[in-house]
């Protein structure tokens, strides 16, 4: 029986992400449960739903396989755009690229997600994009709930002590300027704000990329319109046939169009459309 070896480069990011998600979740639930008023139950339901979506999409992302492992590549019918990967020692289709972190070629590779220790590709892009959206909303809620903490700190007076506590809680804790409880509260609150800004920036970028039917590599390489077939078809190609439902739950089935190997370029699509019109 062959022993499975876990790659630290893939496991460590997952452990760090689990710690961050757990710490933010515990603080959010604490803030909600200590809130007085009639809005406690609705906030709790919304927080649980967002947690379900964030964690669910992350799990599905990690478990999905977007690599060429187990994929039959028809070497006898190599078309335009196929190249040879010397690392994997095989021909790979268009939009497929080798990842030196994962040490394998990834179908319609977008980028390597450092936070989850895995590449974003053909099969798991939907879960990556939905995790970004759910995380954006969840961190916005967490930031709003933490607003009272920031207001209390600033209400005491805008001093260097309060400024450094907000910006560098680690430094304040290591130098003995604040207690452990104050450090934890400030650190998690900062994590919520920084995480929200991070998700906002990445979600905006990927919304634009998705609108063009492109990948990050193609976008920054000046080929963002090579596979642009209109926003609706682009979204369907990346999120599946039931793209309008995938936001609700990561367990909703949404079959992807195509096979991850053959892609129709925009020029070919335009040529076929023009030919049909003339006929």
Residue numbers annotated as active site: 113
Give a three-class secondary structure readout of the chain: CCCCCCCHHHHHHHHHHHHHHHHHHHHHHHHHHCCCCCCHHHHHHHHHHHHHHHHHHHHHHHHCCCECCCCCCCHHHCCCCCEEECCCCEEECCCCEEECCCCEEECCCCEEECCCCEEECCCCHHHHHHHHHHHHHHHHHHHHHHHHHHHHHHHCCCCHHHHHHHHCHHHHHHCCCCCHHHHHHHHHHHHHHHHHHHHHHHHHHHHHHHHCCCCHHHHHCCCCCCCCCCHHHHHHHHHCCCCCCCCCCCCCCCCCCCCCCCCCCHHHHHHHHHHHHHC
Q: Residues 6 or more apart from 142 whose CB is under 8 A from it? A: 24, 27, 28, 192, 196
Record the tokens describing residue 34, joined without a space. 């200590």
């Amino acid at each position: 029986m062959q022993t499975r070896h876990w790659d630290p480069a893939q496991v460590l990011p997952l452990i760090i992400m689990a710690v961050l998600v757990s710490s933010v979740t515990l603080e959010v639930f604490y803030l909600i449960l200590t809130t007085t008023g009639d809005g406690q139950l609705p906030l709790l339901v919304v927080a649980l739903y967002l947690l379900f979506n964030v964690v669910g999409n992350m799990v599905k992302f990690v478990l999905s396989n977007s690599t060429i492992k187990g994929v039959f590549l028809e070497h006898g019918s190599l078309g335009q755009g196929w190249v040879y990967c010397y690392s994997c020692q095989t021909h790979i289709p268009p939009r497929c690229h080798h990842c030196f972190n994962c040490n394998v070629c990834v179908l319609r590779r977008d980028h390597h997600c450092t936070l989850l220790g895995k590449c974003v590709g053909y099969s798991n892009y939907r879960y990556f994009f939905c995790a970004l959206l759910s995380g954006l909303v969840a961190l916005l809620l967490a930031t709003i709930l933490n607003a009272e903490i920031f207001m209390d700190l600033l209400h005491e007076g805008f001093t260097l002590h309060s400024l450094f506590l907000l910006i560098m809680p680690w430094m304040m804790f290591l130098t003995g300027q604040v207690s452990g409880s104050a450090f934890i509260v400030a650190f998690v609150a900062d994590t919520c704000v920084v995480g929200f800004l991070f998700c906002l920036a990445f979600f905006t970028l990927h919304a634009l990329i998705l609108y063009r039917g492109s990948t990050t590599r193609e976008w920054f390489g000046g080929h963002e319109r090579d596979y642009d077939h209109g926003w609706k078809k682009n979204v369907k190609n990346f999120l599946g046939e039931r793209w309008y439902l995938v936001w609700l739950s990561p367990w909703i089935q949404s079959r992807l169009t195509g096979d991850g190997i053959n892609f129709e370029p925009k020029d070919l699509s335009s040529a076929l459309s023009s030919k049909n019109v003339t006929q």
